[in-house]
Amino acid sequence: MEWSLFFNAFIGVLAILNPIGNMPIFLEHVENETPRVQRAVAVLMALSIFVLMLTFFIFGNRILSVFGITLPAFRLAGAIMILLVGLRMLQGKSKFEHHGIETAAVTGGTFSQARNSLSHILVPVGMPLFIGPGTITTVILFSEKSDDLLTSLMMVLVLMLSACIVGIVLVSSRYIFDKIGRNGTQIVVRFMGMILCAIAMQFLIDGVAQLLPGVLNAEFIHISAAQ
């Protein structure tokens, strides 16, 4: 079992989900809700993120087959997209620009209000803020490396853990934002951006290695000969 694969997947998925960097935007969309409803929305958002990632993890390769996209082409395209996201994060820019929405007044319990609020913010906060092209690319590329049942189950566990961390951050978002402020948030965003740029370059190396077998140094390639 390649533990480095799971560690890289966890870091890659968590970095591109960027819960700390996206936390202020989430807060903007739920600022009119009570703290209890905000926490409920955060939990539902994390669950939605996991379901979306799991969907792309299971069916991502089938989608590629339908459109006739080869794996090396997707690796290279994915590397470029992830690199762009990482560079944008290094510059301190968000993936999404908030234009403001109004949350409708809802009667009922906390869960009912949270579910209604989620229906308003799942797009664009859930997609494409959290589950954007970079996240989809990363999940599909790591699913391609899961060539047995145990590895696939461990990767699903990685996705679940990543979604749980997003949920914890969003549930605690008001407290975290008050503590670290905008400067602390920018530091985390830039660090995650640097990690994403490195992951993108690794995907690029792997894609070129598939196109030009035997040319690159095998020590720095993270794909097997069968792939």
The token pair that represents 203 in the structure block: 């995907």
**Per-residue pLDDT band at 165 (split at 50, 70, 90):** very high
At residue 95, the pLDDT reads 47
Does residue 153 register a pLDDT over 80?
Answer: yes
Q: Report CA-CA distances (Å) from 160 to 47, 51, 69, 145, 216.
A: 9, 9, 28, 18, 34
pLDDT in tens, 166-201: 999 999 988 887 787 778 777 877 887 787 788 788
d(CA 10, CA 130): 15
pLDDT in tens, 65-77: 888 877 777 778 8
pLDDT in tens, 73-132: 777 887 787 788 778 878 866 544 444 444 444 556 787 888 888 888 887 778 867 887
Q: Report CA-CA distances (Å) from 80 to 13, 97, 127, 140.
A: 16, 21, 20, 15
pTM above 0.75, yes or no: no
